[in-house]
Amino acid sequence: GAGVSQSPSNKVTEKGKDVELRCDPISGHTALYWYRQSLGQGLEFLIYFQGNSAPDKSGLPSDRFSAERTGGSVSTLTIQRTQQEDSAVYLCASSLGSGTTNEQYFGPGTRLTVT
Amino acid sequence: GDSVTQMEGPVTLSEEACLTINCTYTATGYPSLFWYVQYPGEGLQLLLKATKADDKGSNKGFEATYRKETTSFHLEKGSVQVSDSAVYFCALADNDMRFGAGTRLTVKP
């Protein structure tokens, strides 16, 4: 079946502009995660959605970052007033549930470049 | 808070060499431990996992044992292949997910 998809695959934007990144999780997966992968860095947790519960936003680096998940499915990560340090690959993952043993399935990522 | 520390790379090996990538963790609870792999041009995918102490995860010739006493989950393979060239991430899941920085492995023929 279809895996996690993300769009766009690449995004180049000017400093100060807003961007929206989209994630389509695997159908039926209730948990959805956003991560950021900077060059030479590991995966930095950003935000986590589980079903209809309030999201865990503890990883968002600043108030310029926000995310929503509509209808328990598609999620959008928005970065306002982008800065050059926001340049990274943004990864989305989904899993069947929030249990610690559940495997996360990752999308291919969106490479964001802020010029 | 919870964290994962893994061996820095890059690691370059010849085909059929032995591989060990070290991973240690700190956690307040009883996390599950994972190794994820990212092949060139592909997304991350689960390689193996272990959910409790002394469990051994294995897949594609790779193994890792959950060692609570040393808080470690080292990745091992007895004979690497060129196709194993990838970036390997150690991760733990407790209240949330934490990933290590990744270790790039290059296997030369």
Mean pLDDT of B70-75: 97
| Phi, psi torsion values for B37, nearest 5 degrees | -130, 140
DSSP classification of residue A85: G
Taking the Cβ of residue B44 and every Cβ of chain A, the question of whether any pair is shorter than 8 Å is answered with yes
- Indicate the pLDDT class of residue A99, thresholds 50, 70 and 90: low
Q: Closest Cα of chain B to A15: distance in Å?
A: 27
Report CB contact under 8 Å: B101, A100: no
DSSP chain B: --EEEE----EEEETT--EEE-EEEE-SS--EEEEEEE-TTS-EEEEEEE-STT-EEEETTEEEE-BTTTTB--EEESS--GGG-EEEEEEEESSSEEE---EEEEEE-
Rounded distance, CA B105 to CA B77, Å? 12
Res A68: pLDDT: 94
Cβ-nearest to B43 among A58, A100, A106: A106
Mean pLDDT of B93-102: 84
Res A100: pLDDT: 64
* Tens-digit pLDDT profile for residues B32-59: 999 999 998 888 999 999 999 999 999 9
SS3 label, residue A3? coil
- The position carrying tokens 């800065």 is A83
Res A53: pLDDT: 84
User: Do the bridges between strand B32-38 and strand B44-50 make them parallel or antiparallel, or are there none, so unpaired?
Assistant: antiparallel
Rounded mean pLDDT of chain A? 90
Res A34: pLDDT: 95
For residue B55, the chain A residues in CB contact (below 8 A) are: none
Q: Of all helices (H) and strands (E), which one includes residue A110?
A: strand A110-114
8 Å CB contact between B92 and B6:
no
- The position carrying tokens 């991973």 is B23
Percent of chain A's residues with pLDDT above 70: 95
For residue A98, the chain B residues in CB contact (below 8 A) are: none
pLDDT of A84 higher than 90? yes
* Most confident of the ranges B11-15, B42-46, B98-102: B11-15
Mean pLDDT of A36-42: 80
For residue B21, the chain A residues in CB contact (below 8 A) are: none
Report CB contact under 8 Å: B42, A108: yes
- Indicate the pLDDT class of residue A2, thresholds 50, 70 and 90: confident
Indicate the range of A7-11, A42-46, A82-86, B74-78 predicted with least confidence: A42-46
Cβ-nearest to A100 among B89, B93, B101: B93
Rounded mean pLDDT of chain B? 93
For residue B43, the chain A residues in CB contact (below 8 A) are: 3-4, 91, 106-109
Taking the Cβ of residue B51 and every Cβ of chain A, the question of whether any pair is shorter than 8 Å is answered with yes
Res B64: pLDDT: 98
* Tens-digit pLDDT profile for residues A50-66: 888 888 888 899 999 99
Res A77: pLDDT: 97
8 Å CB contact between B83 and B104:
no
